Amino acid sequence: MYGRGSVPAPLRATAISMINEAPQEGAGAEARPYINPSIIITEISAITGRVFMSEQNLYLKPNVQLEPLFNRWYAWHHLVAPATAAMNIANSHLKIMKSYIASPQIHANAVKNPAMIGGPFIDYDGRRVDEIKALLEQTTKEQSRMLSLADAIKSLSDMLSREAQGYSLEPLYQKVPEPLKGRVELVYDLNNQPSFRFIERLMYRGPYYDTSSQSAVLSLVNQDYRPFVFSTPRLDSADHVHLNAPFNSEGLDELFKMRTTPGPLGHIKEALAITDEQLERMRPFFTEDESVANVRPDPFEGDGVRVRYYGHACLLIESRDIAILTDPVISYRHDSELFRYTYSDLPEKIDYVLITHSHSDHILFETLLQIRHKIKNIVVPRNNGGSLEDPSLKLALNNTGFANVIEIDELESIEVEGGSITSLPFLGEHADLNIRSKTAHLVTLKGRSIACAADSSNLEPKLYELVQQIVGNVDVLFLGMECDGAPLTWIYGPLLTRPLDRKMDRSRKLSGSDYERGIDIVKRLGCKQVYVYALGQEPWLTYITSIKYTKESKQIVESDKLLEACGSLGVISERLYGSREIVL
């Protein structure tokens, strides 16, 4: 490896040759001009200090953070799918920016109040009004097609509500707004309630899916705290490097491969199509120190199954033959008193990534893009087929660079080496909306069965009786108990085409199981071990969950009851936090 400013052997030889051939001081008039040897070495050193630094094999530091952006807003599933992206621009982003411009101090005060974390408040302390104004103007201009699409969606919904009265919908096709013509089907349900569905692949094959709106911001992190990201657009910052790289960029894969396999900066410059100035700003993100690199220390070589808890609903389930990762949300590695598994601890190859549902704390593009090069297959729940509130996870992932995406339906199984992955029905957590993009996963390996139920709520106990009759008893259950969730509008508000009564909104929560529902699942599935997870407690998750519990929080009280009841039944149980390794 070449150090900064050093001269590699070939150029050193050239320099010496030039020096030897140059006439010495005092030579005759017919000789070439005198060349000072020190000048030659200095010039070559200056050049190679830049060029050959680019040719060094360097590692990406483990605390390099990626934030995927859509039009400068933190990107999640609803900002990838075209229709939901349009509705979020029109009914969330523009409104938040206008509110901040009109009353920056209200926003500044709100973000300091713990009770307001997760609210629609821009976290710039009221000091960046001019920049938000500029982004508002840019958004209004550059996203005009998306704003027209949002208007068209609302107009179509209003028209169907007025004019679709149970008679044939055929005459109404001529009234479909222009941005949606040829991209929707008009339908009734069996009770003559009108609706429409998107022909979703067409939505990705036109002006409404523009990858130029996608980008990524890189920075170094040295702490867990990050402000809530969904309400604050990312403005330029001196310690951030903004890359105009769409999510499907292979350059991102090349960058994050360097966490474990060193490479030259020149390769990254070419792969990401960045400027010399951007490359120079990225230099602090790399190191030649192999000891700093993220190298996985201990692949599992046992005869059974190892489960590692990475925080929230992220589990790495391994046998000697296969690695399965659920709902990847992974912390960066930096100095911290709280031990956690990070990107450093992932295997070189992940055979299957399992996604339980489409909420941003379970399908996190920030993590997925960084491990895309490791993933062989992603398993997602099958969706509704074109409804506004339930965009396809498969299409979103396909269009962001993930090739092998497998849709799985309820009680359908995939055979894997040493076992299987089975989709289990998932009720609740979606505020009674007709959303199919949700599933629990039953992983069977080496004769052990592990159910990853995420935020499933036991709304109908008979369901688990019927499931047990098909899959048998479950050895280990991982159950989310976020039993006092946010109201419907917290996620789905921007998609509504007419106002929702406040009382209705607050009655329809994004909630999982409480004690009574949880213990009923445990009993009906005959579980031997139970682990409460997916509570969003870890300090590195606040930026997406906005959750801070106390001992009196309902989620903690209810899960304490569950653990006590499991103990009385002789069932091993624990509420997970930070990290945990379980060998079965």
Q: Is residue 4 part of a domain?
A: no
Domain harbouring 369, CATH code: 3.60.15.10
Buried/exposed code over 168-179 (b: 16+ C-beta within 10 A; e: otherwise): ebeebeeebbeb
pTM of the model: 0.90
pLDDT in tens, 323-381: 999 999 999 999 899 999 999 999 999 999 999 999 999 999 999 999 999 999 999 99
User: What per-residue confidence (pLDDT) applies to 117?
Assistant: 86
Angle at 503 between CA 498 and CA 509, to 5 degrees: 90
Range of the domain at 17: 9-53
Pair type for strands 476-480 and 214-220: unpaired
Residue with tokens 């201009």: 141
Pair 191, 326 in one domain: no
Query: Are 90 and 144 part of one and the same domain?
Result: yes
Q: What's the total number of domains in the chain? A: 3
pLDDT given at position 29: 46
Buried b (16+ CB within 10 A) or exposed e, 59-72: bbbbbbbbbbbbbb
Query: Rounded CA gap, 84 and 79, in Å?
Result: 6
Is 571 found in the same domain as 462?
yes
Residue after which a domain boundary falls, among 293, 319, 337:
293
Using DSSP's 3-state secondary structure scheme, residue 188 falls into strand
pLDDT score at 146: 98
Q: Are residues 274 and 338 in the same domain?
A: no
Closest CA to 46 of 2, 7, 1: 7
Tell me, what's the pLDDT at 36? 57
Domain co-membership, 246 together with 338: no
- pLDDT for res 548: 87
Which of 247, 262, 293 is at the close of a domain? 293
Residue 213 domain flag: yes
User: Could you write out the three-class secondary structure of 274-305?
Assistant: CCHHHHHHHHHHEECCHHHCCCCCCCCCCCCC
pLDDT for the residue 179? 98
Half-sphere exposure of 429 (CA within 13 A, CB side): 30
| 580 to 270, 309, 334, 339: CA distances (angstroms) | 40, 5, 18, 10
Full DSSP string of 52-119? TTTTS-BEEPTTEEEEEEETTEE--GGGTSHHHHHHHIIIIIHHHHHHHHH-HHHHHHHTTSGGGTTS
Question: How many C-beta atoms surround the C-beta of residue 10 within 10 A?
Answer: 8
Indicate if 410 and 277 belong to the same structural domain.
Answer: no
pLDDT at 295: 64
At residue 349, the 3 state secondary structure works out as coil
User: Measuring CA to CA, how many Å separate 356 from each of 359, 360, 436, 491?
Assistant: 9, 11, 11, 17
378 lies in a domain?
yes
Is there a single domain that holds both residue 127 and residue 243? yes
Q: Is 121 left (phi over 0), alpha (psi -120 to 50) or beta?
A: beta
Q: How far is CA 105 from CA 73, 95, 108, 122, 126, in A?
A: 21, 16, 5, 10, 5
Same domain, yes or no, for 46 and 62? no
For residue 463, is it within any domain?
Answer: yes
Q: Are residues 247 and 344 in the same domain?
A: no
User: Quick one: which of 419, 391, 390, 422 has its CA closest to 408?
Assistant: 422
Residue 71 in any domain: the answer is: yes
Residues 278 and 377 in one domain: no
Residue 172 falls within a domain, yes or no?
yes
Q: How far apart are the C-alpha atoms of 308 and 50, rounded to whole Å?
A: 43
Q: What is the pLDDT of residue 184?
A: 98
Q: Order the strands of the 64-70 sheet from edge to edge.
A: 73-74, 64-70, 214-220, 241-243
CA 146 to chain centre: 23
Distance of alpha carbon 137 from alpha carbon 369, whole angstroms? 29
Give me the phi and psi of 184, to 5 degrees please: -135, 155
Whether residues 287 and 147 share a domain: the answer is: yes
What does each of the 584 residues of the chain score in pLDDT, given as a tens digit?
333 333 444 444 444 454 455 455 444 444 445 555 555 555 554 444 455 455 789 999 999 999 999 999 999 999 999 999 999 999 999 999 999 999 999 999 999 998 888 999 999 999 999 999 999 999 999 999 999 999 999 999 999 999 999 999 999 999 999 999 999 999 999 999 999 999 999 999 999 999 999 999 999 999 999 989 999 999 999 999 999 999 999 999 999 999 999 999 999 999 999 999 999 999 999 999 888 776 666 889 999 999 999 999 999 999 999 999 999 999 999 989 999 999 999 999 999 999 999 999 999 999 999 999 999 999 999 998 899 999 999 999 999 999 999 999 999 999 999 999 999 999 999 999 999 999 999 999 999 999 999 999 999 999 999 999 999 999 999 999 999 999 999 999 999 999 999 999 999 999 999 999 999 999 999 999 999 999 999 999 999 998 889 999 999 999 999 999 999 999 999 999 999 999 99
Shared domain check, 173 and 40: no
* Residue where one domain finishes, among candidates 271, 293, 315: 293
Output the DSSP codes for 109-169. HHTTSGGGTTSS---STT--HHHHHHHHHHHHHHTHHHHHHHHHHHHHHHHHHHH-SSS-S
Whether 299 maps to a domain, the answer reads no
Is there a domain that residue 289 lies in?
Answer: yes
